Amino acid sequence: MHKQTVSRRGFLKLGGATAATVGLVAVTPQMAAAQEEVAAPNVALPYPDVDLTDLATAVTSEAPQYFSYPDDSSPCIMLKLGKPAPGGVGPDQDIVAYSVMCTHQGCPLNYDAQTGTLKCPCHYSIFDAELGGKMVIGSATVPVPQVELEYDEATGAVRATGLTGLLYGRVSNVL
Ligand code: FES
């Protein structure tokens, strides 16, 4: 009599396949219909469109511009980096904007044009303004939110339309 043996790895694979099959079979037509009725969650926040054309016209590498977005409680900075950057807009794709609330404990960030970074004076976190606000070093653990900008080549208009990350201290960027 032939005795079939199954290796440990084979046993685990078999177990996984069986579990997957059981999982599929367990879904009845009624359950599938019920799942289809559950609406997909709407995760798009109603960000305001804010015209920043005047700031984009005024910003230079030596003169950052300050504004608030998406509301008055959220200070931001617009920078002209002098080279194309992720999320950069304008003729040179080098105009970017960020929240200036540190993602660690909300201290206001300072821009260092020499290094292209946003620096926190409280606990010394540093964020790379040339790399989408990526955290370089410090007590923060997440990037600083970047303001999503749109640029109209025909008119030169620049608008803020959203943010890439959660603002410090909030459960939602749009209150
Ligand atoms: S608040 Fe910025 S590093 Fe702590």
Report d(CA 3, CA 24) in Å as an integer. 31
Domain of residue 59: give its range: 50-163
Same domain, 64 and 117: yes
Same domain, 137 and 59: yes
Report d(CA 117, CA 121) in Å as an integer. 13
Report d(CA 145, CA 108) in Å as an integer. 13
Q: Is the pLDDT of residue 32 over 90?
A: no
42 in any annotated domain: no
Cα 28 to ligand 1 centre (Å): 52
19 in any annotated domain: yes
pLDDT of res. 92: 97
pLDDT tens-place string over residues 120-132: 999 999 999 999 9
Spacing of C-alpha 3 from chain mean position:
57
Name the closest-CA residue to atom 3, ligand 1.
123
Same domain, 64 and 144: yes
Q: How confident is the model at residue 22 (pLDDT cuts 50, 70, 90)?
A: very low
Same domain, 28 and 108: no
Tokens 């640029």 sit on residue: 151
Same domain, 22 and 104: no
Name the closest-CA residue to atom 4, ligand 1.
123
Report d(CA 21, CA 6) in Å as an integer. 19
119 in any annotated domain: yes
Percentage above 70 pLDDT, the chain? 75
| Cβ of 108 less than 6 Å from ligand 1 | no
73 in any annotated domain: yes
Same domain, 78 and 146: yes
pLDDT of res. 44: 79
Same domain, 57 and 121: yes
Report d(CA 134, CA 142) in Å as an integer. 7
User: Count of alpha carbons within 13 Å of 1, Cβ hemisphere only?
Assistant: 2
Same domain, 24 and 68: no
CB atoms within 10 A of CB 60: 11
Cα 168 to ligand 1 centre (Å): 11
Same domain, 149 and 124: yes
pLDDT of res. 23: 45
Q: Indicate which residues carry an active-site annotation.
A: 104, 123
Between 4 and 29, the more confident residue is 29
Cα 117 to ligand 1 centre (Å): 14
CATH number, domain with residue 73 = 2.102.10.10
Torsion, Cα 83 85 87 88, to 10 degrees, reads 0
Q: How many domains does the chain have?
A: 2
Q: How confident is the model at residue 2 (pLDDT cuts 50, 70, 90)?
A: very low
Q: How confident is the model at residue 142 (pLDDT cuts 50, 70, 90)?
A: very high
108 in any annotated domain: yes
Between 164 and 37, the more confident residue is 164
